Amino acid sequence: MNWLDIVSLESNSDESQKRGDHLYLQIVRSIKDAIRSGKLPLESRLPTNRELASLLNIDRSTVSRAYLELSEVGLIESHVGRGTYVKSLVEVSKTGSAESNAGTSSGFGSSNQPRPMVWAEKFSRASQTVNAIVSRQAPASGLQDDTITFGGGIPTEEFYPSAHFQRIVSEMVGQGDVDRMFSYSPAEGDAELRQEVIKYLAEQSMQVLHDELLIVSGSQQGIDLVSTALVDDNDVVIVEDPSYFWAICNFRARHARLIGVPVDEDGMRMDVLETVLKRQKAKLIYVMPAFQNPTGATMSQARRQQLLALAREYQVPIFEDNFVGELVYDGERRKPLRAEPGAQDIVIHQGTFSKALCPGLRLGWLVAPQEVMTRLRAAKRSSDLTTNSMAQVVLCKYLQEGLYKDHLEHVRGAYKQRLHVLVETLEKHVSPITFNAEGRHRGPQRLTWTVPKGGLFVWAKLPARLSAREFLNYAEREGVTFSPGELFFVGADQPEYLRLCFIQTDEETIKEGVKRLAKALSAFFADVSRARSKESAWSKRGSERVLI
Amino acid sequence: MNWLDIVSLESNSDESQKRGDHLYLQIVRSIKDAIRSGKLPLESRLPTNRELASLLNIDRSTVSRAYLELSEVGLIESHVGRGTYVKSLVEVSKTGSAESNAGTSSGFGSSNQPRPMVWAEKFSRASQTVNAIVSRQAPASGLQDDTITFGGGIPTEEFYPSAHFQRIVSEMVGQGDVDRMFSYSPAEGDAELRQEVIKYLAEQSMQVLHDELLIVSGSQQGIDLVSTALVDDNDVVIVEDPSYFWAICNFRARHARLIGVPVDEDGMRMDVLETVLKRQKAKLIYVMPAFQNPTGATMSQARRQQLLALAREYQVPIFEDNFVGELVYDGERRKPLRAEPGAQDIVIHQGTFSKALCPGLRLGWLVAPQEVMTRLRAAKRSSDLTTNSMAQVVLCKYLQEGLYKDHLEHVRGAYKQRLHVLVETLEKHVSPITFNAEGRHRGPQRLTWTVPKGGLFVWAKLPARLSAREFLNYAEREGVTFSPGELFFVGADQPEYLRLCFIQTDEETIKEGVKRLAKALSAFFADVSRARSKESAWSKRGSERVLI
């Protein structure tokens, strides 16, 4: 969020001089405008008094006065220790009656248009939910250009199959094979591509019939369609906790009741799942058995069997999101859950080409029992009719030529090496071994992490009760970024986690990124110590959490 | 629906001889299986006794007995005069308790898998709705290969910009411009493509800011996102009646209450709209002001002004679907509703490249006020993250090179000519002028139609109370097909309409198609006359409608 764009002070302009505007009123007006225009969505966080004052180079009391004014009309709310948030899009006049912020804005109201549209009252419940969630995830703006990112999870451009794709497009158009590329494909996807995906899945021990397969515009659409077909208001959806941000968002947008089951190194905990299933009538269990997002955990064979048995016993379908199943770096490749005996009628499986190949094609697939597939296909048509033909046809040819296997082998090697470099450099700079009279030993563990056997992510952890979100501010100042783990939790707030994606930059950049992280950690811990000594000098009451 | 696939009789097999199966039990079993497997979705129509008996070459009483059995277990229901439909996916045992059809099927139940998943109970309300609607629209299978289609509305392959696209892909990949093509584009769409769309809209007198534009995966996704952002359970959505099939489907899937406002030659009737708005608190007015689907009507300038005024007065946003605004053949091109003064804050506008360029790209756009756009963008991310990059980048280059204008001019000319040929041939073969002693006169008007000033469709009508759905059977036997108008109505059942798409075949094919239509009409009217004389020989009671 670029606050200098949002809060524009005109202290030097003649206009404002004439109006005799107080600085605090300019801040109030800017923030009202930003809320009205949607730049500041519901629940977005405002800078602290100190931050905004320093940014605008004005006195903190001016900011306080502006925030007080905004609080009084109900637009924002401050929580001690948590910060200040946008609470409402609608202004409440001080006499108590609600009044739309849009309606009172000076931007509208010419005599020809007596009733500007008041949109704030129009949005659906789903929209309120999604908007609030998306605004949490909004990436920090104002990052330096040379910021190194461990955030997100996007494969790197250098491995995109562009040369092959160029040749394929040329060949196909040259051969006059254009109808397939530019007309509607069937709702279920291009017939030849489906054949290729079925072959590809057969190599992973999955037997899939044509009527059980649907090509989708990336896994996110897969999630959206499964939600549409199965999830009603108040349905219980069980997810790993933590889980994939956009899956959580989509299920919440359906007003599902999400129940998070903790994940350990063997995947979702089956003892907890069983307890949940005993107590709750659930609609769906959403899991990522291979290299889970965000923890990187792989579900053990025993857990897989337990999961299938529980699903069958309690009659709750499993939605397997196999987003990075192909990206194995250590140990043998495990077949998908859907390939287990007896899983066909109980598992909806999905995969994608976005992570192992390239994301811009927006191509993935869903596998489901035929009677479910009828519903998913109908949902697909209602959602966007069909998937982009050009991307499907080009990818199909690429698969037919057998190029994907080579590609997978190549990126597996490269990503494995990147993971190795990340872990090695973390060991070196974040947990350095020092030598003293007693011999070698490690310094204080400021960050711990687990090493995944595949996928995209290293899941790391600060010492208990420290906030990765706060640490992120230090990291970004040093020119490095990551995804704070709190985005991924559905249950108890666990602020100390961070997710590091290791596939999207080369090895040298990873090394430099870790050095910056280490530097940021030092600064962060120095402030933590200062804050702690201050806190102990104060009193025993107040929050247990260390807030920087 | 291929009924010979669904109902397979094994009267000659040893197996069935041994089981001593009655024929009617085989029919019962086949239909149960088809319901269980999703081949026969909820509310799909079964053949009449007579049709199925003739198809299977068995006695009608055998079919009656099978249908009775299926009715008794609650799976199907017959309505006199309307036919027989799938009523439930779950079988009710004759003692009264419900029992899943899947659970009793012999396909499951080995001792290792004691509880097969019973999917019928899992589907969401949205899925029930969509599934029922989609099954109505299911295209007839078993059409001959040389069937001429006036159904659907798909631009013809010969005008696809394939050669340009091939060159553009080669050039871009050759220049190493691959990141943009194969990585994620921003949720709101590729920045350069958005710039081109904004320029293109400016040529249509629409001033659009960057923050007001979203690239979507075709208009259907536009509808889906607007639904997500605005429509809650039981919200009133006003549509033209008749309207676009998939828009109706999508709004119904949200459990909106649809209210249809009739369309005449000047578009949606504003007197009716005002009455509706007075009585109902509505959420949205969905309209196609240019060459409406399916009627081809264009909204007059006076109605446009009234619509904007009413929307403002009653605070109901307008959703303008401008799917074929560019395809003008007669009269001057009208600017979109969104380009009218004062429309910016009240109209959500959408357009697409699927109709005027080619459908396989799946690219369209939404324009909305910024605060609405924030919501639409969030809905987009929750739905499928972003739109296919390759298609966006290629289209962007195509627009940058100024090729779209030439293309539009070219297809306008071609489609105008096709419309002319369709109308001329209809005049000639369907309403031929004959000469007798009193001079020239037209034969009986078996089909009437309105000639649109642009777009894709001619809207035609049989004499009152005849069913275009029934006529379709005759047409398909002659090797020609169209879309029965009943698909598009939301209010009163108006069976006599049919929609003819004239852009998707060349002029010679159109002529041949009309000849076939004329032949089918003769056969249809011969049977109508026979049925009418029989009816009058019977009694006065029963349905007013002539059912063939």
**What are the tens digits of pLDDT across the range B183-209?**
889 999 999 999 999 999 999 999 999
Q: Do the Cβ atoms of B106 and B33 come closer than 8 Å? A: no
**From residue B27, how far is each of B46, B64, B117, B326, B430 by CA, in Å?**
12, 10, 25, 52, 41
Report the pLDDT value the prediction gives residue B521, as an integer from 0 to 100. 95
- Give the closest residue to A407 by CA, choosing from A358, A349, A455: A358
CA gap B117, A20 in Å, rounded:
71
**From residue B473, how far is each of B146, B205, B470, B510, B520 by CA, in Å?**
16, 46, 6, 19, 9
**DSSP-assigned states of every residue in A360-372:** GG--EEEE--HHH
Q: Do A246 and B382 touch (CB under 8 A)?
A: yes
Q: Do the Cβ atoms of B306 and B267 come closer than 8 Å? A: no
Measure in Å the smallest separation between the Cα of B354 and chain A Cα atoms. Answer: 9
Measure CB to CB from residue B361 to each of A345, A381, A388 and give the nearest one: A388
CA gap A406, A411 in Å, rounded:
9
The structure tokens listed for B399 are: 């627009």
Q: Which residues contact B232 (CB under 8 A, 6 or more apart)?
A: A124, A125, A126, B254, B283
Neighbouring CB atoms inside 10 A of A112's CB total 6
Provide Rg for chain A, Cα atoms: 26
The structure tokens listed for A196 are: 């290729």
Cis preceding linkage at B242, omega within 30: yes
What is the tens place of the pLDDT at every residue in B407-456? 999 999 999 999 999 999 999 999 877 677 777 666 677 899 999 999 99
Q: Is it the case that residue A543 has pLDDT exceeding 70?
A: no
**Number of A–B residue contacts, CB under 8 Å:** 312
Residues of A in contact with B165 (CB under 8 A): 169, 173, 182, 390
The structure tokens listed for B351 are: 């357009």
Measure CB to CB from residue A391 to each of B102, B382, B390 and give the nearest one: B390
Element (H, E) at A457: strand A457-461
What is the tens place of the pLDDT at every residue in B4-31? 777 877 554 455 444 445 778 888 888 8
Q: Which residues contact B541 (CB under 8 A, 6 or more apart)?
A: none
What is the tens place of the pLDDT at every residue in A65-121? 888 888 877 888 877 667 888 887 777 654 333 333 433 333 333 344 457 888 888
Measure in Å the smallest separation between the Cα of B383 and chain A Cα atoms. Answer: 6
Q: Do B119 and A372 touch (CB under 8 A)?
A: yes
Report the pLDDT value the prediction gives residue A195, as an integer from 0 to 100. 96
Report the pLDDT value the prediction gives residue B468, as an integer from 0 to 100. 95
Measure CB to CB from residue B229 to each of A118, A127, A250 and give the nearest one: A127
Q: Do B123 and A375 touch (CB under 8 A)?
A: yes
The structure tokens listed for B100 are: 């899943």
Q: How confident is the model at residue B519 (pLDDT cuts 50, 70, 90)?
A: very high
CA gap A355, A346 in Å, rounded:
26
Average pLDDT over residues A391-420: 96
The structure tokens listed for A186 are: 């069937």
Compare all CA atoms of chain B with the CA of A115 and give the residue at the minimum distance: B312
Compare all CA atoms of chain B with the CA of A181 and give the residue at the minimum distance: B360
**DSSP-assigned states of every residue in B1-35:** --HHHHS---TTSHHHHHHT--HHHHHHHHHHHHH
CA gap B529, B531 in Å, rounded:
5
At A458 the three-state DSSP class reads strand
Residues of A in contact with B102 (CB under 8 A): 371
Compare all CA atoms of chain A with the CA of B246 and give the residue at the minimum distance: A382
Q: Do B383 and A221 touch (CB under 8 A)?
A: yes
Q: Do A154 and B250 touch (CB under 8 A)?
A: no
Task: For residue A151, give the DSSP letter.
Answer: S
Q: Do A389 and B166 touch (CB under 8 A)?
A: no
Q: Do B162 and A173 touch (CB under 8 A)?
A: yes
- The H helix count followed by the E strand count for chain B is 19, 21
Q: Is it the case that residue B532 has pLDDT exceeding 60?
A: yes
Measure CB to CB from residue A124 to each of B131, B218, B230 and give the nearest one: B230
A362, A377, A393, best to mutate vs chain B, most B CBs in 10 Å: A362
- Give the closest residue to A329 by CA, choosing from A241, A402, A416: A416
Mean pLDDT computed over every residue of chain B: 86
Q: Do the Cβ atoms of B354 and B321 come closer than 8 Å? A: no
Higher pLDDT, A304 or B109: A304
Q: Do A360 and B120 touch (CB under 8 A)?
A: no
A158, A284, A388, best to mutate vs chain B, most B CBs in 10 Å: A388
Q: Do the Cβ atoms of B150 and B482 come closer than 8 Å? A: yes
Q: Which residues contact B328 (CB under 8 A, 6 or more apart)?
A: B334, B412, B453, B454
Report the pLDDT value the prediction gives residue A51, as an integer from 0 to 100. 84
Q: Do B38 and A124 touch (CB under 8 A)?
A: no
What is the tens place of the pLDDT at every residue in B452-507? 999 999 999 999 889 999 999 999 999 999 999 999 999 877 899 999 999 999 99
Q: What percent of chain B has pLDDT over 90?
A: 59
Measure CB to CB from residue B115 to each of A178, A315, A358 and give the nearest one: A315
ipTM computed for the complex: 0.77
Cis preceding linkage at A114, omega within 30: no
Q: Do B134 and A378 touch (CB under 8 A)?
A: yes
At A325 the three-state DSSP class reads coil
CA gap A450, A468 in Å, rounded:
16
Strands A236-241 and A257-264: parallel
CA gap B43, B89 in Å, rounded:
10
Average pLDDT over residues A211-238: 97
Q: What percent of chain A has pLDDT over 70?
A: 87
Measure in Å the smallest separation between the Cα of A105 and chain B Cα atoms. Answer: 13
Q: Is it the case that residue A329 has pLDDT exceeding 70?
A: yes
Q: Is it the case that residue B72 has pLDDT exceeding 60?
A: yes
Q: With b meaning 16 or more CB within 10 Å and e meaning fewer, what string describes A64-77?
A: ebbbebbeebbbbb
Determine phi and psi for B282, rounding to 5 degrees.
Answer: -100, 155
Mean pLDDT computed over every residue of chain A: 86
Q: Taking the CA atoms of A253, A256, A257 and A259 in sequence, report the sign of the dihedral they define.
A: negative
What is the tens place of the pLDDT at every residue in A269-298? 999 999 999 999 999 999 999 999 999 999
pTM for the full predicted model: 0.78
Report the pLDDT value the prediction gives residue B545, as an integer from 0 to 100. 39
Q: Is it the case that residue B74 has pLDDT exceeding 90?
A: no
A37, A110, A115, A124, best to mutate vs chain B, most B CBs in 10 Å: A124
Measure CB to CB from residue A221 to each of B250, B346, B384 and give the nearest one: B384
B347, B390, B393, B398, best to mutate vs chain A, most A CBs in 10 Å: B390
Report the pLDDT value the prediction gives residue A53, as an integer from 0 to 100. 83
Q: Do the Cβ atoms of A424 and A336 come closer than 8 Å? A: no
Neighbouring CB atoms inside 10 A of A167's CB total 15
Measure in Å the smallest separation between the Cα of B129 and chain A Cα atoms. Answer: 10
Report the pLDDT value the prediction gives residue A94, as an integer from 0 to 100. 47
- Give the closest residue to B244 by CA, choosing from B218, B270, B279: B218
What is the tens place of the pLDDT at every residue in B266-320? 999 999 999 999 999 999 999 999 999 999 999 999 999 999 999 999 999 999 9
CA B238 vs. chain centroid, Å, equals: 18
What is the tens place of the pLDDT at every residue in B373-415? 999 999 999 999 999 999 999 999 999 999 999 999 999 999 9
Q: Is it the case that residue B73 has pLDDT exceeding 90?
A: no
A43, A228, A382, A396, best to mutate vs chain B, most B CBs in 10 Å: A382
Q: Do the Cβ atoms of A327 and A409 come closer than 8 Å? A: no
Tell me which of A304-313, A407-416, A457-466, B79-88 is least confident.
Answer: B79-88
Amino acid at B35: I
Q: Is it the case that residue B100 has pLDDT exceeding 80?
A: no
CA gap A503, A422 in Å, rounded:
10
Q: How confident is the model at residue A437 (pLDDT cuts 50, 70, 90)?
A: confident
Q: How confident is the model at residue A441 (pLDDT cuts 50, 70, 90)?
A: low
